[in-house]
Amino acid sequence: MYSFRTVSVMPELPERINRLSELSRNLWFSWRPRSQQLFSRVDRILWEKVGHNPVKFLLHVEGDKLKRAAEDPDYLAIYDLMMEFFDQYMRQESWFQRNFKDQSNQLVAYFSAEFGVHESNPVYSGGLGLLAGDHSKSASDLGIPFVGVGILYKQGYFCQKLNRDGWQEAHYSFMDFNEMTVTPAVHPNGEEVIISIQLPGRELYIKVWQLQVGRIVIYFLDADLAQNSLEDRSLTSKLYGGNHDTRISQEIILGIGGVKALRELGIAPTAWHINEGHAAFSILERVRELVQRGIPFHTACEAVRSCTIFTTHTPVPAGHDVFSSEMIDHYLGHMYEKLSIDRNTLIGMGWDDLRHGFNMTRLAMNNAIFTNGVSQLHGKVTKQMFAYLYKSIPLEEIPIYYVTNGVHTETWAAREMKELFEKYIGMDWMDNISDQSKWNKVYAIPDQELWDTHLVLKERMIKFVQNNLCARMERNFQPIELIRECAGYLSRDVLTIGFARRFATYKRANLLLRDKERLSRLLNNPERPVQIIFAGKAHPADRPGQEIIKQIYDLSKEEEFRGKIVLVENYDINVSRHLLQGVDVWLNTPRRPMEASGTSGQKAAVSGGINCSILDGWWPEAYNGENGFAIGTEIEYDTEETQDREDGNSLFDLLEQIIVPYYYRRVDGIPREWVSRMKNCLATIPWRFSTERMVKEYTRRFYLPAALKGRLYAAEGFRLAREMQEHKGFIRCNWHQVYFKGQRVEQPKELKLGDHIYIQTDVSLGPIKPTDVVVEVVYGNVGDHGLTNIMLMPLALMEELGDGVYRYETNLVLIQGTSGYTLRIRPHNSNFEYPFELPLVKWIDNI
């Protein structure tokens, strides 16, 4: 293949509408449907053909059509209104400015391997990327000082095509960045920003692109440059493609290259958010920067840790990247000298004894002041996964937190639903989405109006699905009779279940297929029929996931299921949007507790879709018995087969006995009970599970505290970072000398409410000072694995007995009922962010 250069020539826009070019380069348009009309009204067919990409649209639209639009009063009225809204959005005082006026100098850098902002910028594969995209949009809405860092994949993820036999085929198409909403990042003098990083035996050159998302910018890294070898140019080709060498190279590009790109741009973040372990190498680069400035390695680590936040998204061990020590030597051996450390020290930063390798999640956790999961249940599961790092520390006290994921409500709510919100909640409903009181107003929406709106969305979804099916059948040269038949598949009047997500086996897309006869009876009930729409991709290397797709396809071809089970190909944001807004029931069947959060059900809820889900991820926090349906129970099963059987039976029972009768029970032609659940769903889910609430929570709990701590640790030549590193080292070295020497307990033979227990104990601290520890009573409920619902009471230091031995005492008053209590010693420092920042503890042996 010979080389060539691509150039794009934009048409000259009519002066009256020349700001279309500006709007096309800001993804703000993606969550404002009326702004999208500024393109679709000019040429609707072209708008669909270019995949809602405004830059590509302007490159290919006919000039005469633009000229006519510029002379159309109706078009100009929308144009003027949307440009006014756009300017107001970009300039108005933000939530952050109103609430944190003295924090204007803060800046959050958010690193993610994928960003799913809009279908016109397809550098995402699934939930992680969509979460990052929605996070970025809400950061813009709230005015958070924020930049994103990702990779601009030349071929993105993959386009899924189903062949005549129903097997998934992965197709990759090269994206022309000149036709995308990204633009090259440039220096003040106009030169494009290009950085370099070191890979084994060579330099890799990386170009930096930028994407404007409302008020914030995401910077993307691209290795497809002439300065690189053909092999290296492909390193940023595919998302989650290639082998282990490709993966570690991409993570070096994202982590190390991402930091270098920000520095080259003159951007100085005060808080660094690592979204999943792919970007954890950013820690090494930031430590290297400080070491090169003369800061000792361990002090540099303490300083970097002080302002780093890490979010983990998967409870599945295989989802955490692990590399061999040999790979670390090969790819990062050059860092040993730059960090002024030996090989074992660097590898120890992320070494995982359980998986016998360098774990990117361990690297991030070890070097982040805050670590969090993405739902309450996932936070607990993550604590259990990594409890071995916090030996002898009660599970509930392990410093792993959670911030439950949300969705960007304006992006996912259908336009017609937004109009209902404006009418019944208020024109300003989007100004404070997480205000619960606003959403109670949805109960005032007339049943007929809400139901009619839902049917409009359902009809639009069915038409979209029919077009998808027909296009696939035409491509596969199916008989014309079948193509005509598929144009009549699905009915607006039939209960419609949607299942669309990544086809990983643990998500159990085939749970209903376990009992084919029962499924047939359910779908073919002449009085109360059901239809199911499936969509989703399996990773090209995931053969079991592809076999589930094949199983669903084969079933959909059988006579009794044809037209009642359909499989939509090439699941992406656009497909997702149509299904989420149009189905009656959104089905989620993960094998509990393997769903970290899941956000698709939250997206369905903002358009009134009813969730039917396993009590996993976010759903246990949302489900109230009236706003959806819960499959199975929260118990643990001995085997996966037992769990699948029980959950499958529970789902069928739920559908047959509750969901289907609810849907078809009508009063005056309206399913009143169903609409009541839709309203309960709208009143309880969108405000609580929005990225507005989520980003506010990250800001208050993590971003601002981390930025403050980072600033304190860096002050006066990193004095506090050095002192804390030395303090922690001293405690670790001498912790073996800490122990209980004995205790005296006095309590009445029969404790009555208000009585106290006198506790006295002598502890040996060796060279450690009493101010560096807390001696405390730990008490709470007695559980199978120790105490739960723990409460703490410190003992008072009474006297020094000599030779590093001290006497402590307290009077403990317990609440009514049965409690357990014990004593422990833990490290303490006023600069600790939480009690077990230094995860050491000594428990009394016998009390």
DSSP string, 250-309: HHHIIIIIHHHHHHHTT---SEEEEESGGGTHHHHHHHHHHHHTT--HHHHHHHHHTTEE
* Same domain assignment for residues 650 and 607: yes
* Same domain assignment for residues 124 and 259: yes
Question: DSSP secondary-structure letter at 533?
Answer: E
Query: How far apart are the C-alpha atoms of 788 and 819, rounded to whole Å?
Result: 10
Cβ proximity of 112 and 132 under 8 Å? yes
* Same domain assignment for residues 254 and 155: yes
* Same domain assignment for residues 189 and 245: yes
pLDDT for position 39: 97
Domain final residue pick, 34, 58, 91: 91
* Same domain assignment for residues 542 and 621: yes
Query: Is 70 exceeded by the pLDDT of residue 421?
Result: yes
The residue assigned the tokens 């505290």 is 705
* Same domain assignment for residues 396 and 474: no
| Whole-prediction pTM | 0.95
pLDDT for position 638: 87
Half-sphere exposure of 847 (CA within 13 A, CB side): 20
pLDDT band at 846 (very low <50, low <70, confident <90, very high): confident
* Same domain assignment for residues 310 and 379: yes
Residue 200 is assigned to a structural domain of this protein: yes
Residue 528 is assigned to a structural domain of this protein: yes
pLDDT for position 241: 85
* Same domain assignment for residues 783 and 828: yes
pLDDT for position 436: 94
pLDDT band at 52 (very low <50, low <70, confident <90, very high): very high
Average pLDDT over residues 57-64: 95
Which domain range does residue 55 map to? 15-91
Residue 177 is assigned to a structural domain of this protein: yes
Percentage of the chain lying above the pLDDT 90 cut? 89
Pairwise pLDDT comparison (447 vs 355), residue with the higher score? 447
Query: Is 60 exceeded by the pLDDT of residue 128?
Result: yes
Residue 695 is assigned to a structural domain of this protein: no
pLDDT for position 532: 98
pLDDT band at 355 (very low <50, low <70, confident <90, very high): confident
Condensed to tens digits (0 to 9), the pLDDT of residues 103-121 reads 989 999 999 999 999 999 9
Domain final residue pick, 40, 69, 91: 91
* Same domain assignment for residues 751 and 635: no
Residue 599 is assigned to a structural domain of this protein: yes
Query: How far apart are the C-alpha atoms of 424 and 278, rounded to whole Å?
Result: 43
* Same domain assignment for residues 388 and 515: no
Domain count, the chain: 4
**Comparing C-alpha atoms, which of 90, 96, 75, 94 is closest to residue 20?**
75
CATH number of the domain enclosing 550: 3.40.50.2000
CATH number of the domain enclosing 769: 2.60.40
Give the mean pLDDT of the chain.
95
* Same domain assignment for residues 73 and 107: no
Residue 729 is assigned to a structural domain of this protein: no
Residue 689 is assigned to a structural domain of this protein: no
Cβ proximity of 85 and 26 under 8 Å? no
Domain final residue pick, 43, 69, 91: 91
pLDDT band at 4 (very low <50, low <70, confident <90, very high): low
Positive/negative CA dihedral, 106, 117, 66, 41? negative
Condensed to tens digits (0 to 9), the pLDDT of residues 651-685 reads 999 999 999 999 999 999 999 999 999 999 999 99
DSSP string, 793-804: EEPEEEEEEETT
Residue 419 is assigned to a structural domain of this protein: no
Query: Is 90 exceeded by the pLDDT of residue 695?
Result: yes
pLDDT for position 9: 67
Cβ proximity of 65 and 13 under 8 Å? no
pLDDT for position 7: 63
Query: How far apart are the C-alpha atoms of 73 and 649, rounded to whole Å?
Result: 59
Query: Is 60 exceeded by the pLDDT of residue 1?
Result: no
* Same domain assignment for residues 36 and 153: no
The pair of structure tokens assigned to 132 is 């990052």
End-to-end Cα separation, the chain, in angstroms = 78
Which of 235-239, 337-341, 396-400, 786-790 is predicted with the least confidence, judged by mean pLDDT? 786-790
